Structure 1
Amino acid sequence: MGRFQELAFTPLVKQHQQEHGSRRQYERMTEHSPSGNTLARDEQAFIALRDSFYMASVSETGWPYVQHRGGPKGFVRVIEPGLLGFADLRGNKQYISLGNFDHDARVALFFMDYPNQTRLKVLGRVEVHEHDSETPALIESFRPTDKSSVIERVILVHVEAFDWNCPQHITPRYTAEEIQQVIAPLSQRLAKLDAENAKLREELHARSKIERT
């Protein structure tokens, strides 16, 4: 059985799957699902290209809390096939996720690729480095090129399980960078046409001037 299904498909979940007719389908799928916590090449490459993710933790009151994290592509690093890490930058100073981790180290990460309608779910356990002897070296290794960003700590995530989600109902969305890449050939073509039109106008103007003389 896949490790993700082992953790996520509780008896009550299976009961609903049985009720709604999807249990047999997921039984077949689990035969080919990742059985361990080791991220393969596809998962590592996918994470390396992400510029954001969603992170869910569990509070002392039992309520889930979801937070969005963003940065340049590659800000979440695959340190080892079963270990992720990212710099925790100074923000609004609510520290809700941080407090939740003190209560329960379990975390769920959701990585989205909107243009290609793909998503990767990761379950793990958090290891926070802020005041220990390893913190300075970790902070230095995760320091972004933007020196104005203040790293308060480094958060490591020990992967427990992961799973790819189906693309159904993912609305394609594009960043400004992605839009620029798509329209770059069109922009170049328009610039070429503008240059050609400017040249033709000059030639027509010169010909008209000659004809008047």
Structure 2
Amino acid sequence: MTRLVGLLALALVLTGCSTDPLADQYRAGSNKGFIAGDGSVTEIAAADRGAAVAWSGVDETGAAVSNTDYAGKVLVVNFWYASCAPCRVEAPALQKLNAEFSGRGAEWLGVNVRDQAANAIAFNQSYGITYPSIMDVDGGAMQLAFSGSIPPNAVPTTLVLDKSGRVAARILGALSTPSILETIVRDAIAEVPAA
């Protein structure tokens, strides 16, 4: 009995040492349907970015889309789905930045991780989204393509790819300060592409 009490006490102590916010969200059991990011921004120096990420998929209209379609451009990739509350909150800011950078060296692409095309189209109409989204619900190929050194671990997550197709930055969670993404995109546009 004493040994059982000791093991239980040790387990409680070890559990108390855990400060993983993602694990805490899971344990909370809120049934919100997603693990929220903390809004942290990770920028990767050009020399540390590694290889370009190769990816492809089909957007909500059925059109094929791949990394080659964005060669030489900065690409903002936003992982989202329609019933994700933070995704709905950040949608207007993403669309505003998309419009601001249209024709200026940066493009936007969504990656819908849960919905069917009809839901994505309805979301786009509701929020005025004009950029396409790859439908990634069936195979998760886009999530897998970016699962390397700086994966999209939460929804929403926004990645900025440089002109060479390498991940230059990640915003893990909702875009709370659009000016941060705007600055990252401007800096990426100003960079000289990797040889």
Which TM-score tier does this pair reach, normalised by the shorter chain? under 0.3
TM-score, scaled to structure 2: 0.25
| Richer in strand (by share) | 1
Question: Which structure carries more relative contact order (alpha carbon 8 Å, separation 6+)?
Answer: 2
Taking structure 1 as the reference length, the TM-score comes to: 0.24
Query: Quick check: which has more Rg, 1 or 2?
Result: 1
